[in-house]
Amino acid sequence: MSKILVTGASGNLGQAIIRHLLETYHAPASDIVAASRDASKLSALGAKGVELRNADFDDAASLDAVFAGIDTALIISTDALAVPGQRLTQHKSAVAAAAKAGVKHLAYTSMPNPDKSLVTFAPDHLGTEQAIKASGLPYTIIRNAWYNENYLHGMSHNLKAGQWFTAMADGKVSNISRDDCARAAAAVLAKGKAENKTYTLTGPQSLNADEIAALVSAVAGKPLRVVKVSPADLQKGIEGAGLPGFVAEMLASADANIAAGNFDIVTSDYETLTGEKPQTSEAFFTTHKAALLSA
Ligand SMILES: NC(=O)c1ccc[n+]([C@@H]2O[C@H](COP(=O)([O-])OP(=O)(O)OC[C@H]3O[C@@H](n4cnc5c(N)ncnc54)[C@H](OP(=O)(O)O)[C@@H]3O)[C@@H](O)[C@H]2O)c1
């Protein structure tokens, strides 16, 4: 028996990873430990025989108990972006606890090329990767490209208005579906073996804004004009629409990173890990047509 811990288990990615562990890779429920800030949210997993633990990376002292007896651990990066520095501190606390517990394999969900990125939160990922490597623990870094799901937040409003403001310029991005990231992470955990490797999970194609807009427009059956603006103007526009400043800055920085070509990466790492091809953005948008038309 080998115990697999997944932190952040009530998040979208965490839930999908545990589903893939159970259903795709047939891991015994009794081998899985699901941890969340509020483990009571995981009662459905508990009913299946998954062990539940409370884990809040802001409470460093409590984390020894979270990693105790664990062979393979996945630290899912948190969404604590509002306070600069908080997320890296959280992740470092989790890495320290994993090292203290002597886990045999530590995996982490990162982002593509955090060492060469304009995205505001890239230093969190780079710092966590460095902390993992410095811990001396056997590791797997799983760098997830931009989710296709990210477009579902705004595209229905863009379609309603008939225009999409973007600061991607002519840059390309290789979006991947979150469920594919989850399946690949589950494959890493199910295999158990740490090879001190970094995988970059991307979709099958890199697309520019006009190509993404054409796919969305074709699926939705509505026109969508791409309006190319500067990152500074995009940030102002997003803030003007009422989103918090740090979100506006993060989204504008992500577009700037695409414009700079830093997200224009297509790898075969998803296929290496799962033996499958990743979902195309076209297939993703087709599956989520109702969400595109929801505004
Ligand atoms: N590649 C992309 O395009 C992309 C897009 C969005 C997010 N992300 C990153 O990928 C992660 C997972 O994505 P998702 O879609 O599952 O996001 P999500 O549903 O928003 O989940 C947020 C995650 O953060 C965890 N978390 C927050 N505060 C925490 C704390 N103090 N201690 C421990 N865990 C904490 C949550 O765990 P519990 O609620 O279970 O405690 C949950 O797993 C995100 O957290 C973010 O870092 C990547």
Bridge partner residues of 123 (DSSP)? none
**Whether the predicted pLDDT of 282 surpasses 80:** yes
Q: Which residues touch 134 (CB under 8 Å, ≥6 apart)? A: none
**Whether the predicted pLDDT of 13 surpasses 90:** yes
**Whether the predicted pLDDT of 153 surpasses 90:** no
What is the predicted pLDDT for the residue at 92? 98
What is the predicted pLDDT for the residue at 115? 97
Q: Is 163 in the pocket of ligand 1 (CB under 6 A)?
A: no
Contact at 8 Å (CB) between 109 and 75?
yes
Q: How far is the CA of 141 from the centre of ligand 1 (A)?
A: 16
Average pLDDT over residues 77-81: 97
**What tens digit of pLDDT does each residue of 126-141 get?**
999 999 999 999 999 9
For ligand 1, mutation pick of 79, 124, 179 (most atoms within 8 Å of CB): 79
Q: Is 146 in the pocket of ligand 1 (CB under 6 A)?
A: yes
Q: How far is the CA of 76 from the centre of ligand 1 (A)?
A: 6
Residue whose CA is at the smallest distance from ligand 1 atom 12: 13
Q: Is 80 in the pocket of ligand 1 (CB under 6 A)?
A: yes
Contacts 24+ apart (CB under 8 A), 277-281: 277/204, 278/176, 278/177, 278/180, 278/201, 278/202, 278/203, 278/204, 279/148, 279/176, 279/177, 279/179, 279/180, 279/203, 280/203, 280/204, 280/205, 281/148, 281/175, 281/203, 281/205, 281/207, 281/212, 281/215
Q: How far is the CA of 109 from the centre of ligand 1 (A)?
A: 10
What is the predicted pLDDT for the residue at 33? 98
Average pLDDT, the chain: 97
How much of the chain, in percent, has pLDDT values that exceed 90?
99
**What tens digit of pLDDT does each residue of 14-60 get?**
999 999 999 999 999 999 999 999 999 999 999 999 999 999 999 99
Split at pLDDT 50, 70, 90, the class of 113 is very high
Q: Is 259 in the pocket of ligand 1 (CB under 6 A)?
A: no
Q: How far is the CA of 80 from the centre of ligand 1 (A)?
A: 8
Structure tokens at 189: 């955990």
Q: How far is the CA of 181 from the centre of ligand 1 (A)?
A: 13
Residue whose CA is at the smallest distance from ligand 1 atom 27: 78
**Whether the predicted pLDDT of 193 surpasses 90:** no
For ligand 1, mutation pick of 6, 12, 13 (most atoms within 8 Å of CB): 13
What is the predicted pLDDT for the residue at 139? 98
For ligand 1, mutation pick of 10, 12, 76, 202 (most atoms within 8 Å of CB): 76
Counting atoms of ligand 1 from 1, which one is nearest the CA of 144?
1
Split at pLDDT 50, 70, 90, the class of 75 is very high
Q: How far is the CA of 25 from the centre of ligand 1 (A)?
A: 23
Q: Is 267 in the pocket of ligand 1 (CB under 6 A)?
A: no
**Matching residue, tokens 């989850």:** 182
Q: Which residues touch 287 (CB under 8 Å, ≥6 apart)? A: none
**Whether the predicted pLDDT of 1 surpasses 80:** no
> CA–CA separation, 103 vs 117, rounded Å?
30
> CA–CA separation, 3 vs 71, rounded Å?
5
Structure tokens at 31: 């081998």
> CA–CA separation, 262 vs 127, rounded Å?
18
Phi and psi at residue 38, in whole multiples of 5°?
-135, 90
**What tens digit of pLDDT does each residue of 230-280 get?**
999 999 999 999 999 999 999 999 999 999 999 999 999 999 999 999 999
